C-alpha cells in the first residue's frame, strides 16, 4: 500500500509489516493483504495490550496512539516484567482462542510501544496447532537468523516435519534473556543460544519469579515447558 500523505513517516519496515507514524501521535501498522492477519490483530486488540487500538474491516491495518514506537533492538531494556507479561498474554490468547502459536521470536519483529507495552508482529511465524498431538507442522525452510531456535528446531532436517507447539516457549525465553544481558541484541549470534541456560544463571534476576519462569521455558523436553509466574 502506497501512502502519499507527506505528514506520514514510515518508521519500521520488515517483510511482514510496516509501521507508519502520523501527526498527533497516531500510528498505523500495515500488514500484507494476502495474509490472514485477523488472529494476530485480535491477539493485540482483544488482550488490551494496546488499549483503544482498532483495525480496518479487512484486517490489513491496525491503528493506535502512542508516544514512542521502537523495535526491541532499539529499546533501552526498561520495564522487562511488563514487556514479558505482554508477550505471554499475546501468546496465550493465540493458543487458547485461535489454536495458533508463533514458531519463534525475533528481535526485529518485537515492537515496544511507550517503553512498557510489547507486541510480536509476524503472520509468517504464526502456525496452526494440531490439538490432539499438540504439534505444529513446519512446512517451509528457515535460516538460523530468522528467530531464536529451540534445540528441537536446530536438529530439524526434514520438511514437512512436526514439533511440539511449546517450541515457542523456548524461543520467547531466549528473546527475554538476550534483551536482559546485552545493550544490543544484534551483538549475539544465533549459535550462542546453545549457552542460553548458562546465560540465565549470570543475570541479576536469579531466584526471582521471572528467573523461574524463564527456566521452565527452557526445559529440554518441549512438552514439559510452561509459562507461569509463581
Q: What is the pLDDT of residues 183-194, one digit of tens each?
A: 544 444 444 556
Alpha-carbon torsion angle 150, 152, 155, 157, nearest 10:
-110
Alpha helices in the chain (DSSP H): 38-45, 80-93, 151-154, 167-181, 196-201, 209-217
Q: What is the pLDDT of residues 29-46, one digit of tens each?
A: 999 999 999 999 999 999
Query: Model confidence at 6, in pLDDT bands (50, 70, 90)?
Result: low
pLDDT at residue 190 in the model: 45
What would the grid cell of residue 226 be? 510452561
> Under 8 Å CB-to-CB from 137, ≥6 apart: which residues?
127, 128, 130, 160, 161, 162
| DSSP 8-state code for residue 104 | -
CATH of the domain at 74: 1.10.510.10
Instruction: Say yes or no: 100 and 28 in one domain.
Output: no
Top-confidence residue, 181 or 225: 225
The pLDDT, as a whole number, for residue 78 is: 65
Query: To the nearest whole number, what is the mean pLDDT of the chain?
Result: 88
Same domain, 51 and 164: no
Per-residue model confidence as pLDDT tens digits over 54-89: 999 999 999 999 999 999 888 866 678 899 999 999
Residues 95 and 160 in one domain: yes
Average pLDDT over residues 171-192: 69
**DSSP assignment of 176-189, as one string?**
HHHHHH-S-GGGS-
Which domain does 139 fall in, by range?
Answer: 69-221
Amino acid at each position: 500500500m502506497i501512502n502519499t500523505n507527506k505528514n506520514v513517516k514510515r518508521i519500521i519496515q520488515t517483510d511482514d509489516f510496516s509501521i507508519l507514524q502520523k501527526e498527533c501521535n497516531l500510528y498505523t501498522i500495515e500488514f500484507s493483504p494476502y495474509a490472514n492477519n485477523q488472529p494476530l490483530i485480535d491477539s493485540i486488540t482483544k488482550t488490551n495490550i494496546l488499549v483503544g487500538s482498532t483495525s480496518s474491516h479487512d484486517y490489513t491495518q491496525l491503528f493506535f496512539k502512542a508516544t514512542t514506537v521502537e523495535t526491541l533492538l532499539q529499546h533501552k531494556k526498561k520495564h522487562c516484567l511488563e514487556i514479558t507479561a505482554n508477550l505471554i498474554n499475546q501468546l496465550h490468547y493465540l493458543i487458547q482462542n485461535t489454536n495458533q502459536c508463533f514458531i519463534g521470536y525475533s528481535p526485529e519483529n518485537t515492537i515496544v510501544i511507550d517503553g512498557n507495552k510489547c507486541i510480536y508482529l509476524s503472520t509468517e511465524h504464526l502456525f496452526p496447532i494440531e490439538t490432539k498431538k499438540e504439534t505444529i507442522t513446519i512446512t517451509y525452510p528457515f535460516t538460523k537468523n530468522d528467530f531464536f531456535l529451540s534445540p528441537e528446531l536446530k536438529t530439524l532436517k526434514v520438511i514437512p516435519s512436526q514439533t511440539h507447539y511449546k517450541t515457542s516457549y523456548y524461543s520467547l525465553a531466549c528473546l527475554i534473556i538476550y534483551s536482559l544481558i546485552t545493550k544490543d541484541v544484534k551483538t549475539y549470534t544465533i549459535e550462542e543460544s546453545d549457552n542460553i541456560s548458562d546465560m540465565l544463571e549470570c543475570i541479576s534476576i536469579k531466584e526471582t519469579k521471572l528467573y523461574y519462569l524463564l527456566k521452565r521455558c527452557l526445559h529440554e523436553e518441549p512438552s514439559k515447558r510452561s509459562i507461569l509466574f509463581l
